[in-house]
Amino acid sequence: MPDLKMIHAAVLRLLALGATVAAVVVMVTSHETATVLNMKFTAKYNNTEAFMYFVVANAVASGYSLIVLLLPCKSLCWRIILILDVVMVVLLASSMSAALAIAQVGKKGNSHAGWLPICGQVPRFCDHVGGAIISGIAGSSLYLVLLLHSIYNVLGSAIFSLKP
């Protein structure tokens, strides 16, 4: 019978997988065409490197979650998985920060650089990006909780078994 700790970890990984896959799908499907001053332009996620980084980071985290979910529970590589969980948390947090920065510029513009906000012209695109970022925040938060759970399971059980 599986251990309760492993069930918690599996549920957390499934939730994180769902959030990161949702972030990828919503961001990849975000595109809208607008006409401004008789000029047509299309806003897509792949016009900005930060959004592409966000998509790649969430796709990597999704693939990683899927691989870890398929590993046997008594595998000897759980300490390596702990290190990779740290890498995933950092990767997701950095990609989320980059995407948030570009989304903020898209929403508010930057008067010092002369960049105008675009969300007034392409609101559906901005809504998609906002939804993807919210899903990315959820995925990143779930990975952080999963990391703390893994740290407790790998290191905490060893520390607590050393009772005098």
Percent of the chain with pLDDT over 90: 48
Q: What does the mean pLDDT of the chain come to?
A: 86
Which carries the bigger pLDDT value, residue 16 or residue 71?
16
pLDDT at 1: 47
pTM of the model: 0.87
Return the number of other C-beta atoms located less than 10 Å from residue 135's C-beta: 21
Count of domains forming the chain: 1
80-133 residue pLDDT tens: 888 899 999 999 999 999 999 999 998 888 888 888 888 888 889 999 999 999
Assess whether pLDDT exceeds 80 at residue 6. no
Which carries the bigger pLDDT value, residue 44 or residue 71?
44
Contacts 24+ apart (CB under 8 A), 137-142: 137/96, 138/19, 139/16, 139/19, 139/20, 139/22, 139/23, 139/58, 139/61, 139/92, 140/89, 140/92, 140/93, 140/96, 142/12, 142/15, 142/16, 142/19
Which whole number is the average pLDDT over 52-66?
Answer: 96
Q: Which domain holds residue 53?
A: 2-162
Which carries the bigger pLDDT value, residue 155 or residue 108?
108
Assess whether pLDDT exceeds 60 at residue 33. yes
